[in-house]
Structure 1
Amino acid sequence: MRRQRRLLAIGTAAALALVAACGGGQVRGSGDRSPGAAPSGAAGGGAVDTTFVYAPNLDVVTDWDPASSYSNEIIAMQNIYESLTKFNIQTQKVEPRLATAWTASGDAKKWTFTLRENVKFHTGKPLDAEAAKAAIERTKEEGAGAAYIWDSVKSIKAKDAKTLEFKLKYPAPLDLLASADFAAYIYDTTAAGSGDLKKWFAEGKDAGSGPYTVDTWQKGKEVELSLKAFDGYWGGWQGTKYKRVEFRVTPELTTAAQLVQRGEVGFAPRLNPQLFAQAEAQGAQTEQAASFQNLLALFNTQHGPLKDVRLRKAVQKAIDYDGLVAALKGAGAAASGLVPQGLFGHVPGRAQKQDLAGAEALLKEAGHGPGGKPLKLTMTYAQGDADQQLLATLLSSTLSKLNVTLEAKPLQWSTQWDQAKSGDTAKRQDIFVMYWYPDYADAYSWFVNVFRSSAKPSFNLTYLKDDKFDEAVDKLTELAAVDKDAALKSYADLQTRLIDELAVVAVPYVVNYQRVLAQGVSGYVDNPAYPNVVFVYDLTPGA
């Protein structure tokens, strides 16, 4: 999706016997290698053949190319590929990853990165400055996904095997940009030899430098993807670590709950609030964390009834924001504008509230509402996502009382996204529901990806075309580097434009991550800068 920014349902062994009320169909077991079990030979302190299992509710891989990848495969890719830097949520600072040090000139237009020694790609090729330069330049040339993170880069020079020098067109925080969750990956551009690299990636191959490499990929299968330890990983395999990672696609929460019961998976970001509460009450290893991920309801400004701004504002006002947050029972928090708290660009005091009288007045002004012409709207949302279904149910009930029929349809992500991007505008939905989170720890991606105009829609599924808005967005990165106060004002003004004036979006809530881990698993740190990613290498299997 850009990616469908979606909360992934993952099962866990931690809540075994806590969710006995949940049923589901039969699921293939994992035998004696359940991730919650003590690994044989673990006492010796070496890496053992222990498997860590996810149960995402979506197909894992949309795009295998690290240059253009922009979807749910982040949960795998961040374990396969690495970037120059990584954002540490605990310190709120950028830390080393493939680069061990970096410096910037006083005007932030020249950056020098020192690369880590003795790093190899999974292809066997050494990772040096020329290879890193080639990867970034190819990503820039592809111009897909989050490649815009490198837009400020004018040139790159490999000064020697371990030194990369960047010259920028304008000031930018390149250390932060290089920590992005997509498009910052460094990879071996020579992996396909004389062949087509994009086609080579599409076969389910990888050319990363991370701790894990692709073992098997079976599109459409329950266990869609499995990773295995890369023996040549620069970090080594000392201590007890997971040697394999599996991704078991589990669209239904009831099935995910059964996986929890049966102890076949090792981590759950959230099954649902009730199950999380049960796990917490029974003393399971749980944690709740604020996220940088929010739910967006995007209104079609180009075709259909919501071309009328009055109807868009009416739908905004019809949403029961407080009721949704209450029903989520801790899994969601009130949103204040587009940008979640904790990110540069957040504006407090912008929480939207339900206003049924205001909604009815706007509908009547447009000739609809009680006593007026019936109005029919279509909405698409993620199949298997109980929270998005809750929004659909509550909004449908509210609108029905206002003589508006909401046809809310749950779809698999690829189907939902393809329909929204259809060249036949009549096939597109009136309201598109999806999650969004930043490409790096800054608000910029909401504005440039979701709302900036483009010739063909990708994630700008309001289909907004507003030159004045685009001009302001294009100045945000440089403004943030040279005048933060002015940048914050611009972020506030842009949110006023999108939400209040143009009414192209509603933000029902911000996601709170509710995590449940297998008993004994240690080393997990929730990092909303990499949503739903578990850096499996950092975990220690539990006894």
Structure 2
Amino acid sequence: MRRLLVLGVVAALALAGCGGGTASDTSAVSAPSPQDSKFVYVANLDIITDWDPATSYSNEVIAMQNVYDSLTVYNPVTKRASARLATRWTSTPDGKTWTFTLRDGVKFHSGRPLDANAVKASIERTIRMNEGAAYIWECVDGIAVKDPLTVQFTLKYPAPLDLIASADYAAYIYDTGAAGSGDLAKWFQQGHDAGSGPYTVASWKKGQQNELTLKAFQGYWGGWDGAHYKNVEFLVTPNLNTAYQQLLRGEISYVQRLNPNLYHAAATTAGVRTLQVPSFQNMLVLFNSASGPLKDVRLRQAMQKAIDYDGLIKKLKGAATAANGLVPEGLLGHSSSIAPKQDIPGAIALLQAAGYGPGNKPLQLTLTYAEGDDDEQVLVDQLTTTLAQLNVQVKAQAMQWNAQWELGKSRDETKRQDIFVMYWWPDYADAYSWFLNVFHSADPISFNLTYLNSKALDAQIEKLPSLVATDRAAADKAYFELQKYLIVRQAVVAVPWVSNYQRAYLGNVQGYTDNPAYPNVVFVHELIPGG
């Protein structure tokens, strides 16, 4: 998502889990030996919101990419799909028939073989469930088993299926027979898995700090020769200072994110490595266009103009880069001509035109954002302070993601927030995800948290996949026009920044890189412990 990846290009980066950035290693560290067989990952939000690989569409990606495999994996060096469960694939000239050859000898954690029938059953169930990111398979008209290791997809329209098959959600291949005669959906939600990846679930303690532990699947097709972490533990620590202290004490291996001050401290701390890397993730400030005061487009435009975009980039001290529209640099549809700027006189004029602002009645708004996210806190503090000076009173509430999301999805419009702050990233390395999920009409509400409902807009969004596959110049233009419509004309969103990931991890963790197509995922099997 932001600028073209600045990679230290080495051969290892061509493997699954590769990535790039600017790393700092301040010392050759020997961490406590008990840590060598266990990788401990700390996040600030709940790990699991949905255990079903067909419907999963949230924080659990960090665990599930270590449990489940997809047919392909995105390679940020080549910017193309690479082999995972499929070793090779072909497509017809019209882009409507795709044939994948599967890796031989792969087994699910259940012990059953992962063959063409299993791939067909898995993807067909995901399509049938039609939840989460299942939309990625909307182009599929039919799936045929040609032989035990060959599966063929017939598409309704041209689409880049090799890239789609590398998606971070909904592309998982799983054992649809894992629950036997039981209800598979219910079986998943009890904390079971049916993957073929390097790790399987050892324990899950919903709502607890040590929420999830994974253990090595000895039958993993990638093997366990050499040094590997055999256990992975995921902890939830909303307070970043607490997480940082855990890292300094050697109690954890990796902190998903730090605030700029902690990151810069970590970069000069013996025994700690740091990595700053561009991402495909941006910050969205979504405005409620269906109910409450922000139904008035003038007030939404005023909110956009009140944000101090340049000031936020300075305050985030390397954790972010200025955004230009919805689509980050490096993806088709990015444009440098949609750069936002703060405009306080313009905001005041719009507020006053709507009967608010200085000298008029106060405008009262509600805002929700992620608890424990210091970058979002910087945004909220800046925005609420600025708006207070414009006679706009904002009731801001920090929440855990599940609670915030449930509030935004409420059927009762009076319970919905006026401003919803959240991150977004693509489901595969294309901008389509922003438009389909965040701005396409939805009933029930899922991620369309601006509550737009326009058939004309929906039709334009639905044309994007075919354009990407057949006419990239036309797709690029379509992405640009949609961004102007959403940001300038409808003013339903502001995009303050594109994130730079700032990671910190123990010095004895070797081989870590970052892949922007899989946000916050550490492919633990690729790491070398204890060096």
Shorter-chain TM range is: over 0.9
Shift, 1:522, TM fit: 1.6
SS in 1 for 2:213: strand
Structure-2 residue corresponding to 1:110: 97
SS in 1 for 2:510: coil
Shift, 1:37, TM fit: 2.8
SS in 2 for 1:392: helix
SS in 2 for 1:514: strand
> Is there any run of 5+ residues in structure 1 with no aligned partner, and where?
1-13, 18-33, 41-48
Q: Does 1:359 align with 2:354?
A: no
Q: Does 1:119 align with 2:75?
A: no
Q: Deviations over 1:85-116 (max 9, x none)?
A: 00011221110000000000000000000000
Structure-2 residue corresponding to 1:459: 447
Q: 1:133 is aligned with what amino acid?
A: K
Shift, 1:174, TM fit: 0.2
Q: Summarize the alignment of residues 14-93 of structure 1 with structure 2, pairs less than 5 Å apart.
A: 36-38=31-33, 50-93=37-80
Q: Does 1:183 align with 2:170?
A: yes
Q: Summarize the alignment of residues 303-322 of structure 1 with structure 2, pairs less than 5 Å apart.
A: 303-322=291-310
Structure-1 residue corresponding to 2:521: 533
Shift, 1:39, TM fit: 6.0
Shift, 1:287, TM fit: 2.0
Q: Which runs of 4+ in 1 moved over 6 A?
A: 14-17
With structure 1 as the length reference, what TM-score do the two structures score?
0.91
CA contact (8 A) 1:36 1:266 kept: no
Structure-2 residue corresponding to 1:28: none
Structure-2 residue corresponding to 1:137: 124
Q: Deviations over 1:460-512 (max 9, x none)?
A: 00000122111110000001101000000000000000000000000011100
Shift, 1:373, TM fit: 1.5
Q: Does 1:336 align with 2:331?
A: no
Distance in 2, matches of 1:204 and 1:270, equals 26
Q: Does 1:245 align with 2:232?
A: yes
Q: Does 1:171 align with 2:166?
A: no
Shift, 1:520, TM fit: 3.1
Kindly tell me: are residues 15 and 107 of structure 1, through their superposed partners in 2, closer, same or farther at Cα, counting changes over 3 Å?
A: closer
| Larger displacement relative to structure 2 (387-396 or 109-118) | 387-396
Choose the corresponding residue for 2:264, options 264, 271, 277.
277
Distance in 1, matches of 2:31 and 2:154, equals 48
Distance in 2, matches of 1:502 and 1:62, equals 32
Structure-2 residue corresponding to 1:192: 179
Structure-1 residue corresponding to 2:12: none
> Is there any run of 5+ residues in structure 2 with no aligned partner, and where?
1-23
SS in 2 for 1:199: helix
Choose the corresponding residue for 1:268, options 226, 240, 255.
255
Structure-2 residue corresponding to 1:148: 135
Q: Deviations over 1:411-432 (max 9, x none)?
A: 1111111111111100000000
Structure-2 residue corresponding to 1:223: 210
Shift, 1:282, TM fit: 4.0
Q: Give aligned pairs, total.
A: 506
Distance in 2, matches of 1:72 and 1:147, equals 17
Shift, 1:350, TM fit: 1.3
With structure 2 as the length reference, what TM-score do the two structures score?
0.93
SS in 1 for 2:529: coil
CA contact (8 A) 1:36 1:265 kept: no
Distance in 2, matches of 1:282 and 1:72, equals 29
Q: 1:281 is aligned with what amino acid?
A: T
Structure-2 residue corresponding to 1:516: 504
- % same residue: 60
Structure-2 residue corresponding to 1:3: none
SS in 2 for 1:221: coil
SS in 2 for 1:281: coil
Shift, 1:277, TM fit: 0.9
Kindly tell me: are residues 92 and 15 of structure 1, through their superposed partners in 2, closer, same or farther at Cα, counting changes over 3 Å?
A: closer
Kindly tell me: are residues 321 and 35 of structure 1, through their superposed partners in 2, closer, same or farther at Cα, counting changes over 3 Å?
A: farther
Distance in 1, matches of 2:194 and 2:110, equals 6
Choose the corresponding residue for 2:283, options 272, 291, 295.
295
Q: Deviations over 1:25-77 (max 9, x none)?
A: xxxxxxxxx9943469xxxxxxxx70000111111100000000001000000
SS in 2 for 1:500: helix
Kindly tell me: are residues 480 and 197 of structure 1, through their superposed partners in 2, closer, same or farther at Cα, counting changes over 3 Å?
A: same
Distance in 2, matches of 1:455 and 1:271, equals 36
How large is the Cα RMSD of the aligned pairs?
A: 1.6
Structure-1 residue corresponding to 2:371: 383
